[in-house]
Structure 1
């Protein structure tokens, strides 16, 4: 890595994609309240009707965020790790993780044990169990709720581990990312930019997913590590391969068509045409189709964003700053609001949009409060506000 290399221009379209993906996360987690898939609390109206539409984003949403995070981290390290960079980056990730586990997340497992285990104690009683690491909330399958927990903040823990791994590599081998980008440019030429990542994602899903089901517990989550760390590293290589974004843009239309076709095949499961439980060969085929939907959707999104969203705007600067605190707060707000609205017994078509609106409004209100308190900013992933000169401060006051 040449220290005389120019600092690359900011990739605005990646900022917009990150903002959109986190915004979609709010709607997706509201949707989890209404589907049959395992989640912390469930609506009495939960059923299969929303599940095919959730599949439109579930294959690619998190993988895309890790790819974007890898690209951003790679660009931060383009001149090599600056002194103190890892410490600064760790504070930006680990302080919000700690704050979340101590203050933001606890209402989530509280309402979960009330719903799933019939817990009758107060929230304060539950906090005593939470911080003592109580292990008595166990289901019929023998799986026990781990306390304390990071729940949706597992993404932050994984991102810090992946960032640490990349920092170690760059520290030890300064030219590693440039070499990886050059190799990727040679290997992922033409159609290989589509089929090679699909083949790798399908291989992991067929071989690792049955052995290591998703846990988000870090230490035993090897299938997810293969997928998400792989996407993180691919994003890091893409950041050093400037014309890859134009190649992705050229593939955006066929990739979108293939992704939609793969989604339609995945959605067949909800039509009653496929046997339950599926035979092993059909499950493996479904894993390969999932990988097609995953990567082709990412190519389509990256390509369209490169073509249409690669520009700056005041909203981008505001939303880029807001997205992390909103992410930290949103899932707890969703779960609390589900309990507030439950006695009204609204239909999901009414209740769901209200949940999305309330969550976004209160998440941004939380961000507005956090960004104004200098001592609180680092605990929600925000940089410390620059000090104003005394004259400017007086004028502001």
Structure 2
């Protein structure tokens, strides 16, 4: 029987919740329109300071967690079953989203800015799903080999590496190397970039690796305050000295320590069952798929009102969360043919 890791489920839910808040915040930045968001005239640029703290670790965290999910899935399925399951859960919603969901909010953007209306088959914010599916296919042979020898040698080596906090250096090196080799124009721009692809691949692979060690989680939880302190220090240096743009290798290091801190505090405080978690864990994926629709729909309405940017931000955030949860509760989870299109299992399966 595979042990259920409630903390990892919680981290996935929290990361997707932060993603919604982050995307709403972009609509209030003076550059939002240039990356396809409907932009409010009364910007709230001050919120970008805390948002920039989240931006270096929220997407890598999701890639880490996705790799961990594959580890657990492989305990219950052979490789054929895994590919079939991931095709249903990731590829099908990805294709559906590119065909139906993303084109709708693109049309809303075109209409708001009086552009010619046109249908665009595009991944949009669902690029993450496309990357994940590629990672599964590319890394599956390696994962199968690691699982085959896991109990013989790999786990023992990893247990020695992660027995002390120095072991986290092994997890940091690939991200520093990626940043120095790829030299991204903007570290925080993950979507549709070579940087985002390779960073995601590293995090996905290392998420799987972390689950093979018995010493990783006790160590990461024990030293959680150290990880948090280092992460905050790197962030304050980035904010106060470098105007939020430290060298890429420093951002890679900062990102890793934020993730270690989140893992540590999550493992210590969130690894327990909850009725709320059962609901939120199932709803998070469909909400991730549809949330941009409600951000754009809310933008069309609230941005036309003569109210301050701060109040508009508040109303749009509430509207997005309420719209997503109402759509999930009364439509997506209750209509049988919609469930697989949003990555949900059919009832009774």
Change in CA separation of 1:59 and 1:74 when aligned onto 2, cut-off 3 Å: same
Aligned to 2:252: 291
- Partner Cα distance (2:72, 2:307) in 1: 47
Distance 1:90 1:64, change over 3 A: same
More helix by share: 2
**Aligned mates of 1:230, 1:191 — CA distance in 2:** 20
**Which residue does the alignment assign to 1:393?**
none
1:39 equivalent to 2:39? Answer no
**Matches of 1:151 and 1:51, distance apart in 2:** 22
1:307 equivalent among 258, 268, 276: 268
How far apart in 2 are the matches of 1:186 and 1:65?
26
Change (3 A) 1:156 1:210: closer
Please report how far the alpha carbon of residue 286 of structure 1 lies from its aligned counterpart in structure 2 after TM superposition: 2.4
The higher radius of gyration belongs to: 1
**Structure 1 position 380 matched with structure 2 position 333:** no
CA distance in 2, matches of 1:94, 1:155: 11
Q: Please give the per-residue CA displacement for 1:298-322, whole angstroms capped at 9, x wherever unaligned.
A: 1111100111111001111111111
Deviation, structure 1 residue 67? 0.7
1:17 matched to 2:14? The reply is no
Distance in 1, matches of 2:205 and 2:23, equals: 27
Q: Residue 212 of structure 2 aligns to a residue in which SS?
A: coil
Structure 2 residue 344 is the aligned partner of structure 1 residue 371: no
1:7-52 deviation per Cα after TM superposition (whole angstroms, max 9, x unaligned): 3311111111111111111111111111244432222123642221
SS for the counterpart of 1:34 is coil
Query: Aligned with 1:232: secondary structure?
Result: helix
Separation (CA, whole Å) in 2 of partners of 1:171 and 1:304: 30
CA shift, 1:58, in A, is 0.5
Out of 103, 107, 122, the residue aligned to residue 104 of structure 2 is 107
Distance (whole Å) between structure 1 residues aligned to residue 339 and residue 76 of structure 2: 27
Q: Measure, in 2, the Cα distance between the counterparts of 1:111 and 1:165.
A: 36
2:136 maps to 163
Partner of 1:249: 221
Secondary structure, in 3 states, of the residue corresponding to 2:75?
Answer: coil
CA distance in 1, matches of 2:6, 2:163: 25
Q: Which residue of 1 aligns with 2:171?
A: 197
Contact 2:295 2:320 in 1 (8 A): yes
After the TM superposition, which of the residue ranges 71-80 and 342-351 deviates more from structure 2? 71-80
What is the TM-score with the length of structure 2 in the denominator?
A: 0.89
Worse overlay, 208-217 or 308-317: 208-217
**1:181–1:237 Cα contact (<8 Å) kept:** no
- Conservation of the 8 A alpha-carbon contact between 1:212 and 1:222: no
Alignment of structure 1 residues 137-286 onto 2, 5 Å = 147-171=120-144, 174-175=147-148, 180-210=154-184, 214=189, 216-217=191-192, 221-268=193-240, 286=247
How many pairs align? Answer: 343
Shift of 1:115: 5.8
Q: Is the 8 A contact 1:33 1:39 kept in 2?
A: no
Matches of 1:173 and 1:188 in 2, distance apart? Answer: 17
Give 3-state SS (helix, strand or coil) of 1:207's partner. Answer: helix
Secondary structure at 1:56's aligned position in 2?
helix
Q: CA deviation at 1:85?
A: 2.9
Q: Tell me the TM-score normalized by structure 1.
A: 0.79
* In the alignment, structure 1 residue 322 sits paired with structure 2 residue 283: yes
Q: Which residue, out of 308, 311, 314, partners 1:347?
A: 308
Structure 2: distance between partners of 1:112 and 1:222: 26
Query: For residues 270 and 331 of structure 1, do their structure 2 counterparts lie closer, same or farther at Cα, with a shift above 3 Å needed?
Result: farther
CA gap of 1:212–1:334, structure 2 versus 1, over 3 A, is closer
